[in-house]
């Protein structure tokens, strides 16, 4: 009897605690924030979840210029042609999109379309540029690929005809005079060689051409001996009192193993005899002296 009373008392005391525990469980289920954070005493429950850390935003990618700059050569040339078609570019079509002229042309086109002026194209801008150029009504032609047109030939003037006729007459005169002039030149060469062979003792060369005689003596004293002698007619034609002749003579002077070339102009008026009238010799670089002699003889050339 006494045990029954104690058991009943214990059941009575534990009933409110059980009821209170059920009520807390219900509130925790409906609102997890009301759940106790610790165990025992005030009841136990799961810890509240931590908020997730924010994810850092990735920076937006920059414009893609490398694709166009590294595109195949024909594509880069086409872009230059498009810029030329749109009157933005006048340089060579060489595919160099980084040349100063091309960069400026791209920048001008970008400025006109509201893009950033950077002088480089994105793939989208390149496509837009080519599409715009394809709609242009007039296509430009690369001046470097066009050969310059030959200048138009002017019709022959009366002066040209006269000049040709004069040259033809001079050619005929020279052809007729050449045999006699050549004969006189070879006669001079023979006399020069004879003069050298006699060591200056034979005439008439020494008396007819004193400058040659003087040069011969000076070279002989310097042990420079004449070698080959070559002559060519420099001028020939009518003159006062006969035919004027000018012969250029080149002589190789030998001094041991060294060779010294000497050049002289021999001029005279021939009257058909071996005599050489108004004869004179000049160094080959004395052009003024020789021309004055021709003027003094009233030479009418049949050679030039």
pLDDT in tens, 58-78: 777 789 999 999 999 999 999
Pick the CATH number of 171-301 from 3.10.450, 3.40.50, 2.30.29, 3.90.1570: 3.10.450
The pLDDT value recorded for residue 49 is: 59
**pLDDT at residue 25 above 90?**
no
The set of long-range contacts for 214-217, using a CB threshold of 8 Å and a minimum separation of 24, is 215/262, 215/264
Band of residue 251 on the pLDDT scale cut at 50, 70, 90? very high
Q: How confident is the model at residue 26 (pLDDT cuts 50, 70, 90)?
A: low
Q: Select from 18, 132, 120 the least CA-distant residue to 76.
A: 120
Give the mean pLDDT of 156-175. Answer: 82
Which segment of 1-10, 18-27, 194-203 scores lowest on mean pLDDT? Answer: 1-10
| Backbone angles phi and psi of 239, in degrees to 5 | -145, 175
Strand partners, 281: 266
- Element holding 264 (H helix, E strand): strand 258-270
* Backbone phi and psi for residue 209, each to the nearest 5 degrees, phi listed first: -130, 75
Q: Is the pLDDT of residue 103 over 90?
A: yes
**Residue 172: pLDDT over 60:** yes
**pLDDT digits over 9-18, tens only?**
444 444 444 4
What pLDDT sits at residue 9? 46
What sign does the CA torsion over 187, 188, 191, 197 have?
negative
* Domain spans in the chain, listed from the N-terminal domain onward: 67-129, 171-301
| % of the chain beyond a pLDDT of 90 | 45
Q: What angle do CA 143, 113, 89 make, to 5 degrees?
A: 15
In this predicted structure, what is the pLDDT of residue 43? Answer: 46
Q: What is the pLDDT of residues 177-233, one digit of tens each?
A: 899 999 999 999 999 999 988 988 877 888 889 999 999 999 999 999 888 889 999
pLDDT at 40 over 80: no
In this structure, the strands spanning 258-270 and 242-255 are antiparallel
Fill in the DSSP letter of residue 164.
Answer: H
Q: What mean pLDDT is reported for the chain?
A: 81
Three-state secondary structure call for residue 63: coil
Closest CA to 260 of 269, 248, 252, 268: 252
- The torsion region of residue 268 among left (phi > 0), alpha (psi -120 to 50) and beta comes to beta
Angle of the 73-85 helix axis to the 100-112 helix axis, nearest 10: 60
**Residue 106 and residue 121 in contact, taking contact as beta carbons nearer than 8 Å:** yes
Nearest to 108, CA basis, from 117, 100, 95, 99? 117
Question: Full-prediction pTM beyond 0.85?
Answer: no
- How many Å apart are CA 176 and CA 173, to the nearest integer? 5
Whether 52 shows a pLDDT value over 70: the answer reads: no
Closest CA to 277 of 207, 203, 185: 207
């Amino acid at each position: 009897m006494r045990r029954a009373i104690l058991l009943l008392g214990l059941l009575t005391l534990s009933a409110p605690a059980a009821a209170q525990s059920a009520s807390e469980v219900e509130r925790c289920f409906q609102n997890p924030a009301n759940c106790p954070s610790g165990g025992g005493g005030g009841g136990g429950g799961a810890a509240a979840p931590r908020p997730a850390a924010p994810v850092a935003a990735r920076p937006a990618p920059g414009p893609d210029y490398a694709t166009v700059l590294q595109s195949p050569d024909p594509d880069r040339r086409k872009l230059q042609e498009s810029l030329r078609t749109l009157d933005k570019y006048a340089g060579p079509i060489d595919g160099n999109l980084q040349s100063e002229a091309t960069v400026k042309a791209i920048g001008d086109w970008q400025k006109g379309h509201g893009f950033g002026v950077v002088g480089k194209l994105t793939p989208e801008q390149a496509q837009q540029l080519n599409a715009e150029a394809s709609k242009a009504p007039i296509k430009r032609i690369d001046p470097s690929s066009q050969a310059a047109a030959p200048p138009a030939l002017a019709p022959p003037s009366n002066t040209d005809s006269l000049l040709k006729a004069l040259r033809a007459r001079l050619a005929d005169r020279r052809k007729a005079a050449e045999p006699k002039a050549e004969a006189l030149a070879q006669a001079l060469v023979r006399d020069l060689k004879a003069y050298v062979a006699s060591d200056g003792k034979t005439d008439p060369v020494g008396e007819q051409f004193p400058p040659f005689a003087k040069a011969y003596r000076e070279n002989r004293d310097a042990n420079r001996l004449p070698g080959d002698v070559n002559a060519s007619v420099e001028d020939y034609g009518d003159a006062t009192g006969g035919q004027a002749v000018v012969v250029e003579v080149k002589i190789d002077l030998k001094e041991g193993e060294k060779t010294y070339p000497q050049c002289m102009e021999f001029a005279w008026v021939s009257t058909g005899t071996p005599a050489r009238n108004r004869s004179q010799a000049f160094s080959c670089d004395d052009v003024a002296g020789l021309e004055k002699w021709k003027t003094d003889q009233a030479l009418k050339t049949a050679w030039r």
